[in-house]
Amino acid sequence: MSVQADTTSNSNAQDTGPSKLSAFGSAFVAQGFTMFPVLLLLIIVGAFVAPAFLTSRNLINILEQVSVLGLTTIGLTFVVLIGRLDLSLEGVVGFAPMLAAVMLVPAAAGGYGVELPGWMALFVALGAAGLIGLFNGFMVVKVGLNPFISTLGLLVLLRGGVLIISNGRSIYSPGEALTYLGSAKILGLPVAVIVFVVVATIVGLVFQFHRYGRALYAVGGNEEAARAAGINVDRVIWSAFFFAALLSGLAGVLLTGRLDSAVTTQGQGIIFSAFAAAVIGGVSLGGGKGTIIGVVSGVLLIGVINNLLTLAQVPSFYVQASTGAVIIIAAVLTTVASQRSSGVKTRT
């Protein structure tokens, strides 16, 4: 098969040749860059409004803050790409590190007295998260439940589960083994940020260039077609739930590290921000569409807005409402942009 790649040879006779500008526009939107100009604008505005904004300390601070949301959103993107959703991720963010904490700390500090060695901390947290993901996959693939209801149930269950295993008390200073990732710094750069960047890069590459990523998009776009093409659809669904929960567990560990405690209310409300970030980033809730570049832009946008509002000393109740308003505006922007550029209507 030594045929030269020549994409234009199939081109329709009635084509006038795609204009460079519109082709660039489509690619820009399709790859998930839509929000970056907005982000840039916000940063410029921010620099004028709050002098403290454009300092490297503040910027690193923003990155550190968004790393938890970022990992959760990347996790969520796995399931959203296949046209499903997973509300229980929020529960995982709280449950996984709490379980590790109670297994680690002595009874006097609220633990079970098992006092596992430190190296087990990550293993327990991520192991629990992974198992939860497999359970979700089982419910959807084998039992055939709608993921909305099965993961909603699990979310409530995990919230209660956190209270049960911790006896209703937060665990402070659960030990460096569990808090390292979320609190340590290397050359002034928080490890959490490094973790986020590394995960985002790997997942981004997998989505774009790996056959597993291709399978995710195909299953999300048309499950039956994916099956007929020879993709093991059940395995893809199952694994998507697994990775989603795993990354949320990692997000939980980072959060525990940053707070230096496993808090009983940890992660509450994060699933809303994660959905918002995903949609702003151009991920279609109908499945089959979305990129990690977009997801990262969505996460950054939410982070920057929160930071700006705080720096501008907007009263805290206004912060929440304004974030909501901005989310809606941003979602409108991405949706319109993607319709304009591709002509394909997506259900966001």
Partner 1 sequence: MENSHPIVEMRNITKTFGSTRALRGVDFTVMRGEVHALVGRNGAGKSTLVSALSGFTSADTGAIRISDTRFEATGQNYAALIRDDIAHVQQTPRLFDHLTVAENLFIENPLIRKKFGVISHKSMLARATALLNEWNIDIRANAHAGELDAGTRQLLEIIKALSRGVPVMILDEPTAALSNAEKRVLFEHVKTLKNAGISFVYISHHLDEVFEVADIVTIMRDGQVVKAREPVGTLDVETIANLMMGEETVRSAREDHTDKSAPILLQAKGLRVNKFATADIDFEVRRGEIVALAGPVGSGKEDLAMILAGQKKPQSGQVTSPRGTLPTIGFVPTDRHASGYVGILGVRENVSVGGLDILSGPLGFIKGRKEADLVAQLARLTNVISSSLEQPVSQLSGGNQQKVVFARSLCRSPDVIVALSPTRGVDVGAKEQLYALLRDLASKGLGVVVVSDEEDEIEQLANRVTIVFGGKIVDELVGDYSIKDLILHMEGVA
Ligand X SMILES: Nc1ncnc2c1ncn2[C@@H]1O[C@H](COP(=O)(O)OP(=O)(O)OP(=O)(O)O)[C@@H](O)[C@H]1O
| 3 state DSSP class of 24 | helix
Contact call for residue 205 and partner 1 (CB under 8 A): yes
| 3 state DSSP class of 179 | helix
Contact call for residue 343 and ligand X (CB under 6 A): yes
Q: What CA–CA distance (Å, rounded) separates 295 from 276?
A: 10
Among 12, 16, 56, 313, binds ligand X (CB under 6 A): 12
- Written as six digits, the tokens of 131 are 């198992």
Contact call for residue 210 and partner 1 (CB under 8 A): yes
* DSSP per-residue letters across 241-308: HHHHHHHHHHHHHHHHHHHTEE-TTTTTTHHHHHHHHHHHTT--TTSS---HHHHHHHHHHHHHHHHH
Closest listed residue to residue 97, CA positions, set 244, 270, 253: 253
Question: CB of 12: closest distance to partner 1 in angstroms?
Answer: 5
Contact call for residue 7 and ligand X (CB under 6 A): no
In the bound state with ligand X, the residue whose beta carbon lies nearer, of 15 and 224, is: 15
Contact call for residue 17 and ligand X (CB under 6 A): no
Cα of 337 vs its chain's centroid, Å: 22
Closest listed residue to residue 79, CA positions, set 310, 323, 286: 286
Number of residues binding to partner 1, judged by CB under 8 A: 45
Question: CB of 18: closest distance to ligand X in angstroms?
Answer: 11
Work out the number of other CB atoms within 10 angstroms of the CB of residue 269: 10
- Written as six digits, the tokens of 55 are 């300092």
Contact call for residue 288 and partner 1 (CB under 8 A): yes
Question: CB of 214: closest distance to partner 1 in angstroms?
Answer: 6
Contact call for residue 19 and ligand X (CB under 6 A): no
Question: CB of 342: closest distance to ligand X in angstroms?
Answer: 9
Task: Provide the terminal-to-terminal Cα distance of the chain, rounded to the nearest Å.
Answer: 41
In the bound state with partner 1, the residue whose beta carbon lies nearer, of 141 and 214, is: 214
Contact call for residue 236 and partner 1 (CB under 8 A): no
6 contacts which partner out of partner 1, ligand X, none, CB within 5 to 8 A by kind?
partner 1
Closest listed residue to residue 215, CA positions, set 239, 199, 193: 239
Within positions 301 to 330, which residues make up the interface with ligand X, using CB under 6 A?
none
Among 209, 272, 321, 336, binds partner 1 (CB under 8 A): 209
Contact call for residue 218 and partner 1 (CB under 8 A): yes
Query: Where on the chain is the footprint of ligand X (CB under 6 A)?
Result: 12, 343
Query: Where on the chain is the footprint of partner 1 (CB under 8 A)?
Result: 1, 3-19, 22, 205, 209-212, 214-215, 217-218, 221-222, 224-231, 284, 288-289, 342-344, 346
